[in-house]
Amino acid sequence: IAGITQAPTSQILAAGRRMTLRCTQDMRHNAMYWYRQDLGLGLRLIHYSNTAGTTGKGEVPDGYSVSRANTDDFPLTLASAVPSQTSVYFCASSDSAGAGNEQFFGPGTRLTVL
Amino acid sequence: GQNIDQPTEMTATEGAIVQINCTYQTSGFNGLFWYQQHAGEAPTFLSYNVLDGLEEKGRFSSFLSRSKGYSYLLLKELQMKDSASYLCAVKDSNYQLIWGAGTKLIIKP
């Protein structure tokens, strides 16, 4: 099935624990993104990757890291989770980072840090 | 700073027309996107404008005025399934999307 998958769907995590959110796309898109969505705020970009092997920082990168070893996978790691990282996390991809390219979103991961 | 403004919530009647406005101030402009997001689901793409004017796609149309930093999404013949949040986003000079907080549209029968 073409599209983007994310895992897990939801997770409750103790503060201080390490957590990796997984994202895989099968559309052979070059660009991938991680956003967080919080009530009353717009989607905020955490990290992005314009092509395999490269990554960049978005608006809110602190406390998060990413890697892009291949085209399909773009995992997001929280090294030591804090309650302020409680959010819904969306992974997205686009054919390229260029002007007119729409982004396709995964179903999201709902993360609660206690 | 960069800013996207849109109303927090709007209510409309089934079968009617509704216009959702979006104003923006960004560093550079490489197009404006509208997405639809149903509660608990992922955003899905609706429209893209990069030149001034109206883009029509079925019951949905999107308008852009770059000189005014303004766009609107027009939804005609509203259906109950159109109840959702509508997100306005602008691609800035770094080709990153800057997102508004979204407009929650409530459709009443």
Q: Give pLDDT tens digits for A26-48.
A: 999 999 999 999 998 989 999 99
Residues A74/A31, Cβ–Cβ less than 8 Å = no
Q: Is A104 on the interface with B (CB under 8 A)?
A: yes
B25-58 per-position pLDDT tens digit: 999 999 999 999 999 999 999 999 999 999 999 9
Show the tokens assigned to B36.
């639809």
pLDDT at A17: 97
Residue A1 has a pLDDT of 59
Asked if residues A8 and A89 have their Cβ atoms less than 8 Å apart, the reply is: no
Bridge partners of A12, per DSSP, are A112
Q: How far apart are CA B5 and CA A52, in angstroms?
A: 34
Instruction: Give B76 to chain A, closest Cα distance, Å.
Output: 23
Given an 8 Å threshold on Cβ–Cβ distance, is B42 in contact with A107?
Answer: yes
Give the confidence band of A97 by pLDDT, cuts at 50, 70, 90.
Answer: confident
CB-nearest partner of A102 from B48, B95, B96: B48
pLDDT, chain A, mean: 95
